[in-house]
Structure 1
């Protein structure tokens, strides 16, 4: 509680004291959530969710975005008769999640009451504390790492205790200024989010553009086609691939079966766990997660090694060399493709990956682009068999995969063209990443300005926030609870809002699978 000297306890219950007004604009104070009389209410667990709208929408950690908004596009419902609900004006705090995500906070803007899980905490402030201002400040504290510094770590997750939350110190301007800050943030962040949406739209077009370029080059779509290109392969048979449905290629090109143009097509195997070593070793051992969606090997992700003896004996059939083209045959997703880099002279692969090595009729570069072509890799992935939610492609089918083969000089010219396109799109990708970083910096700068008193001007006629604290102290002295904001009468049959507040940019929100 605020003392007569104008100080509040440090968060965490240390007993140290903090100056209530020191360094703050006129009329502002510092106070803990507990001192402000903020009501803290956890939700309830439910293992019986449904997506058909039966019951009431049940908010979970994934419904609070990294931008501090409610997103209920992935709505789950529960049948529940309790009165544990969040309503418009409440603040929803994510109390349990992975350590990086504990503390995400959103203001609730739902016409109807909604249920919420036990991994969420409902906060209701007193009259004089704007819920939207509180939510924005707590979310900013999450984004700058405050909650990560006070959480409790558990197995595979972390949490913030009720006491630590109530001991959290926030700044409180006069109520009229809180309203001005919230309105200004809404206006400025709407512009930021419009820019983010434009960047996201540009980013989403990159891969389809590269896919289109790949197919145009790999299939020779800019040239007149000839049925002669189909004659040889249509005389062959395959158990899984119908060669008679292939597109005709330009004059001088032919379809060939992969095993006829590749000197080697092998899949890997997985040794005993005791023969694999994390982080360091002699021979790098690739797994599916090391093949990135953008078409390169990323060995920084959980690197695994095997020793030379295991490589030469147990795994001798799955050795791969720089320039070999890898495709995963177990998924989802299927068909991630990348070239073995030159970082090591030899590598090895697990059983979920197939390695193609170019023969004399095709260049390794051409084989790489062929196996990245959506048309060609699609012929392979459509043969997948599903078993217990997992898709598998047979090694024998990989050997029967049709490969378009133009003359070598045409291969070289098209590979050069594709390299230039890939470099240009990689540059665009880096520009998009840079713009995303700038947007994050701008968000943080706006939030910093909001909670240090520089976003909007102060008005000396505003009632100081210290009056709010005095009123709460007086109410507590008489044993009364702080005045709560007035809430709309409760309704039944809640409808799920898709989003709350400003538009939410597209993207999956990481959270516990609750």
Structure 2
């Protein structure tokens, strides 16, 4: 992607008058004061300020003066769960407000950037997953420091063009708001039908109250695919953010993954499956009815198969009631990062009316669903248009014709902006020249057996490989610590790295990280673990890093395979690489343990089906060996595992 000539690549810090993190309330004073404080939940997922659930504190005159929000300030969520950190909105409320330490106030320079453009841009970085790559992680939370926020790259058009972009994006938002209003009315009708048939859930003694688990057939956690990126084709991956309050699904927002047929067969949801959010935001749920094709639950969801004793539509409506929502929140096991597990949910007692009453309700509610479905189909087209508009807005494509019609105005505004940026000492870049034709990596010193594999790489993989090698040589041959946010960001923001990869789009950090892992798994670069002192805790941490292969390592994979065959002594040997997930285990209270995300054999065939219990936490690979050996019916000596 090449930006227009009149645009500049700046940083967020270049266009601010002030950047200020907020302050925490004093213990025991919440809701005792009179000053409203904007917190994480006051920035919505669609980038707006909401006063729902606003908290009040007692702020001193000094605190009020320092942390006061003014209309036109940009509010950035600096600390939250990894899924939500980076949400951004323009503050548009009248009155005296302050903001918490989990928020950062960005005050834009009015001659360089409009608040709406800056907020839209930063919120889009959150929406595409870039923000979390700049976060530092600790147990159950992630945070982005002020210095990191200021270093975010910003595609900066002139002020007149920013106003034009915002005008179009506002129209797109208006369309989305109208769509959401119609969907809200549909949800209200479903609620009225439920109360007509069953009364208010939890308040009526007409039906027996039984554990939800009595009416489920199985439960399991959604799988993880850490080394795969979203694509335009494939199967839908259902996330917490794709589920409506009434248990329906916004399919037009759910991303897709190009999974293998084996992965789909193993993980695809069955029609009539209930999925519930298990981490971060507790309460969202959905019923997969199979009408939109196949789907896989995301890693932060729990699947429940429903027994014949309950009608799926009844369960969907029941989980939308205040009673069940309250019971879900009561079952939360952690405060810092809310978590809930399958047994907690299955222990919730639910009213169980006679099946014939449930089925009568289902007939009527399905008619409402059919009407809603027609609305959703129209809504999906609206969202496709909106996504395209947003993507074109920040690349300059959206306003290409407009620039041509306002060339004189753009030229004058470009000169004024550049003079101001230079006066402020900002280091900006003009749009780079078209990227040079990609050259294959230098393989003269590599074994000829590797040539085929290098030829099979995608263009992006080849560019990352050659860029990574060049960066390594220019930086004293030091391994790249990808788990250190500052160091990895420094690599991604390096001018030469950005120039080589700019043709593949903006905000590539996640994609680069996955590609380095893929290159390591292919044996083209080396993955190592290096110690680093944590300045906050004082403890030594061991972080993942990558470096190019040394000459002696070019035959490592072949040598390992030969050694395994030699040691097998005629006995069948099974070798697998294991993808592990420590984060989910940490959230579940099993710190230091892991769950298996993927299992592949020598031929890179997916064998994850050999892990019977995907929700099980393992303390080491030896424990996993026993389970796999038992599943294969072989000795543990015949199974070898390698973590990737």
TM-score (norm 2): 0.42
CA positional deviation for 1:120: 0.9
Q: Which residue of 2 is the match for residue 462 of structure 1?
A: 413
SS in 2 for 1:462: helix
Can you list the C-alpha shifts for 1:233-276, whole angstroms capped at 9, x where unaligned? xxxxxxx979xxxxxxxxxxxxxx97xxxxxx7834879xxx99
Question: CA distance change for structure 1 residues 267 and 207 in 2, over 3 Å: closer, same or farther?
Answer: same
Task: Give distance in 1, aligned partners of 2:372 and 2:149.
Answer: 43
Can you list the C-alpha shifts for 1:51-94, whole angstroms capped at 9, x where unaligned? 68x43221112222233332234432221122222223332211
User: In 2, are the aligned partners of 1:288 and 1:352 still within 8 Å (CA)?
Assistant: no
Question: CA distance change for structure 1 residues 91 and 431 in 2, over 3 Å: closer, same or farther?
Answer: same
Alignment of 1:134-283 (within 5 A): 134-173=118-157, 177-178=158-159, 180-210=160-190, 267-268=210-211
Question: CA distance change for structure 1 residues 279 and 122 in 2, over 3 Å: closer, same or farther?
Answer: closer
Question: CA distance change for structure 1 residues 269 and 137 in 2, over 3 Å: closer, same or farther?
Answer: closer
Can you list the C-alpha shifts for 1:429-466, whole angstroms capped at 9, x where unaligned? 64265256336415523533559863742422334232
User: In 2, are the aligned partners of 1:107 and 1:131 still within 8 Å (CA)?
Assistant: no
Work out the number of aligned pairs and report it: 328
Question: CA distance change for structure 1 residues 164 and 89 in 2, over 3 Å: closer, same or farther?
Answer: same
SS in 2 for 1:77: strand
One of 334, 337, 347 as aligned partner of 2:323: 334
Question: CA distance change for structure 1 residues 72 and 453 in 2, over 3 Å: closer, same or farther?
Answer: same
TM-score (norm 1): 0.51
Q: Which residue of 2 is the match for residue 119 of structure 1?
A: 102
CA positional deviation for 1:469: 2.5
Q: Which residue of 1 is the match for residue 72 of structure 2?
A: 89
User: In 1, are the aligned partners of 2:76 and 2:103 still within 8 Å (CA)?
Assistant: yes
Task: Give distance in 1, aligned partners of 2:221 and 2:411.
Answer: 62
Structure number with bigger Rg: 1
Task: Give distance in 1, aligned partners of 2:176 and 2:36.
Answer: 28
Higher relative contact order (CA 8 A, sep 6+): 1
CA positional deviation for 1:158: 1.0
Question: CA distance change for structure 1 residues 183 and 51 in 2, over 3 Å: closer, same or farther?
Answer: farther
SS in 2 for 1:118: coil
Question: CA distance change for structure 1 residues 354 and 151 in 2, over 3 Å: closer, same or farther?
Answer: closer
Question: CA distance change for structure 1 residues 113 and 471 in 2, over 3 Å: closer, same or farther?
Answer: farther
Task: Give distance in 2, aligned partners of 1:201 and 1:127.
Answer: 34
Task: Give distance in 2, aligned partners of 1:419 and 1:71.
Answer: 31
User: In 1, are the aligned partners of 2:275 and 2:303 still within 8 Å (CA)?
Assistant: no
1:28 aligns with 2:12: no
User: In 1, are the aligned partners of 2:274 and 2:286 still within 8 Å (CA)?
Assistant: no
Question: CA distance change for structure 1 residues 42 and 367 in 2, over 3 Å: closer, same or farther?
Answer: same
Alignment of 1:280-319 (within 5 A): 289=276, 301-303=301-303
Q: Which residue of 2 is the match for residue 352 of structure 1?
A: 348
CA positional deviation for 1:137: 2.3
Gaps of 5+ in 1: 1-21, 220-239, 243-256, 259-264, 306-319, 337-348, 359-363, 373-414, 475-514
Gaps of 5+ in 2: 224-265, 278-282, 291-295, 326-344, 427-644
